[in-house]
Amino acid sequence: MTRVAVVTGGNRGIGFCIVKQLSKQFDGVIILTARDEKQGADACAKIKGDGTADIESHQLDITSQENIAQLKDHVKEKFGGLDVLVNNAAILIPSSSGISYASNAELCVKTNFFGTLDVCKAMFPLLRDQARVVNVSSLMGSLKIVDPSLQKKFNSPKLTVNECVALMNKYVSDVKAGKAKENGWPDENSVQSPAYSMSKLGVTVLTTVMAKELDSKRGILLNAVCPGWCRTDMGGPKAQRSPETGARTCVYAALLPPNQTSPNGRLLRDEKIWQWKQLVLRNVEGYEGRRNDLIFCGSEGQQHVVFFPGDIQNYADEMDKNWKQWDLETIAKLLDKRFPNSFIWVVRPSRYHIKTFSCYNNFVEANLFGVPDHRNTEYGALLHLKALITSGVRQVLDIPEKEEDITSDFPIIIIGFSKGCCVLNQIIHELSSVTTGIDARLNDFVSRISAMYWLDGGHSGEANTWITDEKYLYYLAKHIPSIRVHVTPYQIKDWTRPWIGKEEKIFVDKLKALGANVKVREHFGDKDPSLFYHFKLLESF
């Protein structure tokens, strides 16, 4: 049986490089398609003899149902099936073309989204067991380009292909009616190449939806790939990447080994899963009317990971340019890589004093600068955290109020960084009330906490950066299975705040004496105390 691969838009740019690289690695026939028959034949002639695979060209305009049907019939009659499908054909109409936004949106969505969908519908019945499908997409098609209400729809685990189609048609019709911004879509001034970006958001979402509908027993894998900004006719001469580099991950996804189950339904870049399902949930309701913003990241979750950031950290557009690489959205992506198969929740502080000092007043009593006061052990940090996670899950997964939270038995990892550790310290103070039966509402929630991480804890107060009272540490040691402490010289060797290092040592020593599963690691110990390495810990813990 002859193996067969089809690459649409294979006559130039990234598509040409995909065919060229496949020709050296794919044992079979590669069908290079192009809108222009002569250009396709010329491209084949350039590659033939350079690899081991047989290459043939086929005329295909992915916006033509007749062309698509002809390709399907050709593959079916000549080969009987299909092993690799790379949907690469696409257009980008530059703003300099003078074409209206409405026409641009219609053309881009028709070609990039509906063309890809129509090819998939036609060719999927020909896919053999262990086939690989690659939809070339772009990080420009991020959920960030649409309003939260639309993010929720695109991100819904219940989304169907028909509903995805309806959303893309709604985008085009709203642009034509001049209601794009009003209805939550990008306008001409909000993002670069909005029509192209929306079409690629559609392709990425379509990939995740269609992957779920494939028969898992047949071993077919379907993924989207972002090649990056490449020096092609579409990308222009100033792009950072060569088309050869852009093609590599497409080929990687097209040749994933047999019997592999992952990645599937994911967006890949540089041969790695790229987390594109990042949502900013504004003003999420928690305990007794308290509210916090949540940055969500993750898919195929099997546990919750909750992160409390430190001073300075905020949304990227509200941070000093010197520290923007540690903004909340970036931290969510870092955590997604650090904790795969997790639902990541970055909790934005309740407020910021003079745009710098993080204040977690919804979790712990604190002064103007966010310095905590833990004397109130019934403040409700645990109740608020539980309510926030529940509300966040219901928004992200679109779970009606009357239906059960399907993540209600997920383990929970809680991480505090710098000032964010004050929330973990407040939780320690509240554990005694829960575990002794004083407040039974949280027994199940606390039993799900599998680990707590202290990352370079510290704040501007003059004491109590680490808990040292054995009365509270006893409950931490007894009820939290895993305790991890990661520090840098910035906190524990700061001569202007010597109590931080002393308290951290007491915290660890007492936990060890109480039999806790606690591990400690000092990072960058050979470096002078530095805010740079303090933040760098977020990449290395």
**DSSP collapsed to 3 states, 52-79:** CCEEEEEECCCCCHHHHHHHHHHHHHHH
Q: Alpha carbon of 259 to those of 216, 221, 227, 283: distances in Å? A: 11, 10, 25, 44
378 forms beta bridges with none
**pTM score, whole prediction:** 0.67
| pLDDT tens digits in sequence order for the chain, 541 residues long | 899 999 999 999 999 999 999 999 999 999 999 999 999 999 999 998 676 679 999 999 999 999 999 999 999 999 999 999 999 999 999 888 889 999 999 999 999 999 999 999 999 999 999 999 999 999 999 888 998 789 889 988 789 999 999 999 999 999 999 999 999 999 988 888 999 999 999 999 999 999 999 988 899 999 999 999 999 988 888 888 999 999 999 999 999 999 999 899 999 999 988 766 667 889 999 999 999 999 998 766 789 999 999 999 999 889 888 888 899 999 998 998 899 889 999 999 999 999 999 999 999 999 999 999 999 999 999 999 999 999 999 888 777 777 888 888 999 999 999 999 999 999 999 998 887 766 667 889 999 999 999 999 999 888 889 999 999 999 999 999 999 999 999 999 989 999 999 999 999 999 999 999 999 999 999 999 999 999 999 999 9
- The tokens for 20 are 């060229």
- The tokens for 452 are 């707590």
Q: Which of 196, 252, 360, 533 is catalytic?
A: 196
Helix spans in 86-242 (H) = 101-108, 116-123, 148-155, 161-176, 194-213
- Which helix or strand (DSSP H or E) is residue 527 part of? none
Q: Alpha carbon of 222 to those of 5, 112, 140, 488: distances in Å? A: 14, 17, 20, 42
Distance of alpha carbon 157 from alpha carbon 155, whole angstroms: 6
- The tokens for 88 are 């690469």
Would the CA dihedral through 151, 157, 158, 164 be positive or negative?
Answer: positive
pLDDT given at position 438: 64
Distance of alpha carbon 141 from alpha carbon 226, whole angstroms: 10
What tens digit of pLDDT does each residue of 18-29 get?
A: 999 999 999 999
Are the CB atoms for 166 and 218 separated by under 8 Å?
A: no
pLDDT given at position 239: 87
| Residue 55 CB contacts under 8 Å (≥ 6 apart), including other chains | 19, 23, 29, 30, 31, 32, 44, 47, 48
Backbone angles phi, psi at 455, to 5 degrees: -110, 100
Backbone angles phi, psi at 400, to 5 degrees: -60, 155
Distance of alpha carbon 334 from alpha carbon 203, whole angstroms: 24
pLDDT given at position 37: 95
Are the CB atoms for 10 and 43 separated by under 8 Å?
A: yes
Burial classification of residue 1, based on how many CB atoms lie within 10 Å of its CB (0-12 exposed, 13-18 middle, 19 or more buried): exposed
pLDDT given at position 118: 98
pLDDT given at position 200: 97
Distance of alpha carbon 374 from alpha carbon 369, whole angstroms: 15
225 forms beta bridges with 136, 268
| Residue 494 CB contacts under 8 Å (≥ 6 apart), including other chains | 458, 500, 501, 529
- The tokens for 55 are 């290459």
> Which amino acid makes up residue 365?
E
| Residue 505 CB contacts under 8 Å (≥ 6 apart), including other chains | none
Distance of alpha carbon 280 from alpha carbon 293, whole angstroms: 7
490 is catalytic: no
Return the CA Rg of the chain.
27
pLDDT given at position 52: 67
Ordered structural domains, the chain, with CATH: 4-93+112-138+198-273 (3.40.50.720), 278-539 (3.40.50.1820)
Distance of alpha carbon 292 from alpha carbon 214, whole angstroms: 38
Distance of alpha carbon 135 from alpha carbon 249, whole angstroms: 11
Nearest Cα residue to 297 out of 331, 344, 341 = 344
> Which amino acid makes up residue 343?
F
Say what the alpha-carbon torsion angle 191, 194, 199, 202 is, to the nearest 10 degrees: 40
> Which amino acid makes up residue 87?
N
CB atoms inside a 10 Å sphere around CB 503:
20
pLDDT > 90 in the chain, percent: 77
